[in-house]
Amino acid sequence: MTEGNRMFIQDKRSYSRLLLMLLLLTALVSSSTRAVVHAAVKVPDTIRVAFFINLGTKYQSLTPVATLQSANGLNLIWRDPQTGISAGTIAPGQSVRFAMDGYRALLLETTDLGAAIAVLKKVQASSNAAFVTQLTKSGKTVYQVTEGAYSTAAQASSALTKWTNAGVAAGVQTLLSARVAGPWAVEAGSYASAAEAASAAAQLGNAGLDAFAALKPQNGTLSYVVRVGQEKDATALSALQQSVAAAGFANARIPDAVEPYTSLRTDMTLNGSANKPVTLYAIPSGPSTVLRAEPAGSGGILLTERNKRTYRGSMEMSVLNQSLAVVNEVDYEQYLYSVVGAEIGSKWPLEAQKAQAVAARSYALSSGMGFQIANVVDTTTSQAYYGIGYENANATEGVNQTAGEVMTQGGKAINAVFSANSGGITADNAIEIWGGDNSFLSSAVPSPDDGPQKGLLDWYYVALPSGQTGYIRSDLLENSGQTHVSGAKYLRVTGEGTAVRSKPQVVSTVEPVARVGTGTLVVQLGKVAEYSDYSWIEDPMTPDQLLTALNKRAKSPITGPLLTLEVTKRGPSGRVTEIAANGVPVNVGAGDNLRGALNSLKSTLFSVEETGRYTIVDGNGTVREVPSQSGSLQVIGGAGTSGSLPASNAFFMDGNGNLRAVTTSPLFVFSGKGYGHGLGMSQWGAKAFAEQGYDYQYILKYYYKNVSIEKGA
């Protein structure tokens, strides 16, 4: 080997080493752009989630009562701006209830628990605010049946009239006349213990008075008092005070309306027939009384009124805007365990779980105190939060591996909205959804969203021999080899009793359009994908259905009847931004409102077929637009005889030679792609990217542009 050759080899090796170093350096630089950086963004230790709250037109989720229990018991705490005071304990597995101490229709007082429960059940048939309360009166145990948690005496009075006219307590002997019960009362005491207060309440009850033990904060501690009476206003309190004094309670006073308290009622509503009382804490609407329930052990808290789901953290009960408010305060990361578990599939790739975790954390952090006494709510108005039962190991791992990470722009957490499925392309917010300049949202970018369609069969849209139309799944049909006179294929049914559906989906609770037997020949009108979150066709809607739905949202009412409905504008992604009813544009506000305005469509990436709209040219060349031009339609058969079109379906050949099913009166069929508003990350798209090997940072930066992923302080 010559010296020159040796030098060449050495140079070549040097070049290789240099190239390798450059490649490593490039990899390091590339990696550094994807690293999570630490920043000043603060992720709190806990988050407040409202289950029930009344914020007027902004958000309402209402309940008259909240029922809690925990496997290891509960500790109750009275909270005020300065401190928290122990308010007692609830035994393991024992329920405790909370309600607003408002106005109620008092329908019955009886010594017969069975009769009280019978009346309760009648009221519960149309109200979720019915109660049976146990008291001691005149030496007897009595049961009062009430309905309502009303904010005014007038509302309770109207309810009382309704229930009285309905005769719900008819035939049951009552110890008092039906009346309005309210939160006005006289106060006796104070007492050192609950037992002493209960004894005093029983003594007052034996004098024929309604009396309840109550908790009251005084000088940084909680004491017990007795609240006597359930009056609808203050006018009866002076006379009531005299009655209390006559019963031996000379210290009775009329409390100021703003003094905080919570009354303790013996509630029989849950376990009345079993005679197992439950304590109900009645919280006043005026003072800022807040009761907090914390699990005594490591278990969660079951909230009956939220589908009996169990949640981590504590529950706070208060009254806000004359309604009971229930707020869950929970560790931030543990909150995300449930959110990620509820929002995406438990078996989805880990990188999709991590992308969802960062998006959900960013969204929640950007919400601030968006719900007055809470950061977020538990529904998809914020993001789905369904408790411990929706947690899974994969979701928890995704949260833990991204702990504290948020997407930011300009040093602030972004409002990282996401949806289930973008239908193949994300939305443009400025034009298509809610408006505004959200510069962190990628607009109208392709998204691999067809995952829900994988493994599903196609369906055929067919005409039956009876003239009816509907959908049959492809595995229940075969090609007959025969052709209809129109040129369309005849398909043969392969199973007895085959269901013909109104849309390409099996819904067990919906009766089929028809059932057909083996060997039946049907005419193929079309072939579509099975109904899914990616591709869907809804049941035909009638003009009346759509008119009702549209007029709930339309800024100006649409005058019926509804004859035509068409798409008149689309945005950059193809989503509908304007529709016209009877040729007049319909204003429903933000573009995404069209989903609700059209009977809760899955997305605004849709088309509408008007089965009752078509153009006819007769033998004389006269053009007629249906349904704009009214009048009956006549057809002439091959034998020269004429007749009216059938009332349901008729079949026309269109200008392209295709057979089309039409109706003689308007019907509207919506078909489309995607599920949700389509902004930001598509969850199904994130799954597909993860399956293709992309990491969570790539996924997030694909759907959210010009953002940083930072580790919260």
Cα gap 276→266, rounded to integer Å: 10
Cβ count near 144 (within 10 Å):
25
Above pLDDT 70, what percent of the chain? 89
Of the candidate ranges 25-29, 441-445, 446-450, 475-479, the one whose mean pLDDT is the lowest: 25-29
pLDDT of residue 39: 63
If you write DSSP's letter for every residue of 187-225 in order, what string do you get?
EEEEESSHHHHHHHHHHHHHTT--EEEEEEEETTEEEEE
Q: Decide if pLDDT at 130 tops 80.
A: yes
Cα gap 474→489, rounded to integer Å: 14
- The DSSP secondary-structure symbol of 501 reads B
Residues 544 and 588 in one domain: yes
pLDDT of residue 648: 62
φ, ψ of residue 552 to 5 degrees: the values are: -75, -25
Q: Decide if pLDDT at 683 tops 60.
A: yes
Cα gap 449→702, rounded to integer Å: 14
- Long-range interactions of 476-483: CB distance < 8 A, separation 24+: 477/522, 480/521, 482/521
Find the distance separating the first CA and the last CA of the chain, reported in whole Å: 63
Residues 127 and 252 in one domain: yes
Model confidence at 120, pLDDT cuts 50, 70, 90, reads very high
φ, ψ of residue 6 to 5 degrees: the values are: -60, -40
Cβ count near 694 (within 10 Å):
17
pLDDT of residue 14: 43
Helices (H), 554-635: 593-597
Mean pLDDT, the chain, integer: 90
pLDDT in tens, 212-265: 999 999 888 899 999 999 999 999 999 999 999 999 999 899 999 889 999 999
Average pLDDT over residues 179-184: 96
Contacts of 3 (CB under 8 A, 6+ apart): none
Domain end (from 505, 531, 557)? 531
Check if the beta carbon of residue 677 is closer than 8 Å to that of residue 603: yes
Does residue 489 sit within a domain? yes
Residue 75 sits in which domain range?
47-97+285-330
C-alpha pair distances (Å), 386 with each of 56, 198, 306, 335: 24, 38, 9, 9
Model confidence at 490, pLDDT cuts 50, 70, 90, reads very high
Cα gap 134→109, rounded to integer Å: 10
Does residue 444 sit within a domain? no
- The DSSP secondary-structure symbol of 425 reads B
pLDDT in tens, 136-145: 999 999 999 9
CA dihedral 130, 135, 141, 143 (to 10 degrees): -10
pLDDT of residue 655: 67
Residues 381 and 318 in one domain: no
Q: Decide if pLDDT at 283 tops 60.
A: yes
Residues 236 and 376 in one domain: no
pLDDT in tens, 385-424: 999 999 999 999 999 999 999 999 999 999 999 999 999 9
Residues 384 and 498 in one domain: no
Average pLDDT over residues 676-694: 98
Predicted model pTM: 0.88
pLDDT in tens, 78-102: 987 667 899 999 999 999 999 999 9
Average pLDDT over residues 572-595: 96
pLDDT of residue 225: 96
- The DSSP secondary-structure symbol of 592 reads T
pLDDT of residue 18: 40
Q: Decide if pLDDT at 35 tops 80.
A: no
Domain end (from 484, 500, 531)? 531
Q: What is the tally of structural domains in the chain?
A: 5
pLDDT in tens, 359-390: 999 999 999 999 999 999 999 999 999 999 99
Residue with tokens 């059940």, as numbered in its chain: 121
Model confidence at 618, pLDDT cuts 50, 70, 90, reads low
Average pLDDT over residues 203-207: 95
Does residue 59 sit within a domain? yes
Of the candidate ranges 300-314, 528-542, 657-671, the one whose mean pLDDT is the lowest: 657-671
pLDDT in tens, 620-654: 666 667 776 665 666 665 555 666 666 566 777 67
pLDDT of residue 297: 86
CA dihedral 553, 554, 560, 565 (to 10 degrees): -90
Pick from 158, 149, 155: nearest CA to 101? 149
Residues 663 and 590 in one domain: yes
Model confidence at 287, pLDDT cuts 50, 70, 90, reads low
Residues 131 and 180 in one domain: yes
pLDDT in tens, 520-562: 999 999 999 999 999 999 999 999 999 999 999 999 999 889 9
Does residue 405 sit within a domain? yes
Residues 228 and 186 in one domain: yes
Residues 638 and 593 in one domain: yes
Pick from 603, 31, 684, 711: nearest CA to 356? 684
Model confidence at 616, pLDDT cuts 50, 70, 90, reads low
**Which sign does the torsion angle of CA 681, 684, 688, 690 carry?**
positive
Q: Decide if pLDDT at 37 tops 60.
A: yes
Encoded tokens for 459: 């369906």
Domain end (from 330, 348, 363)? 330
φ, ψ of residue 88 to 5 degrees: the values are: 110, 180
Pick from 532, 482, 474, 466: nearest CA to 498? 474
Q: Is 547 exposed, middle or buried (0-12, 13-18, 19+ CB in 10 A)?
A: buried
Q: Decide if pLDDT at 19 tops 50.
A: no
Does residue 434 sit within a domain? no
Helices (H), 110-168: 113-124, 153-166
Residues 509 and 561 in one domain: no
C-alpha pair distances (Å), 428 with each of 412, 417, 575, 590: 22, 13, 9, 12
Contacts of 687 (CB under 8 A, 6+ apart): 344, 345, 348, 349, 352, 451
- The DSSP secondary-structure symbol of 557 reads P
| Identity of residue 268 | M
Greatest C-alpha distance within the chain: 125
pLDDT of residue 613: 75
User: What is the three-state SS of 430-484?
Assistant: HHHCCCCCCCCECCCCECCCCHHHCCCCEEEEEECCCCCEEEEEHHHEEEEEEEC
Does residue 424 sit within a domain? no
Does residue 188 sit within a domain? yes
Cis peptide bond prior to 561, omega within 30° of 0:
yes
C-alpha pair distances (Å), 455 with each of 452, 458, 602, 693: 8, 10, 21, 21
C-alpha pair distances (Å), 223 with each of 136, 192, 220, 260, 449: 22, 6, 10, 12, 60
Residues 125 and 260 in one domain: yes
Encoded tokens for 388: 């411990």
Cα gap 237→241, rounded to integer Å: 6
Cα gap 645→664, rounded to integer Å: 7
Check if the beta carbon of residue 478 is closer than 8 Å to that of residue 530: no
Half-sphere exposure of 497 (CA within 13 A, CB side): 1
Residues 248 and 313 in one domain: no
Q: H/E element holding 583?
A: none
Does residue 421 sit within a domain? no
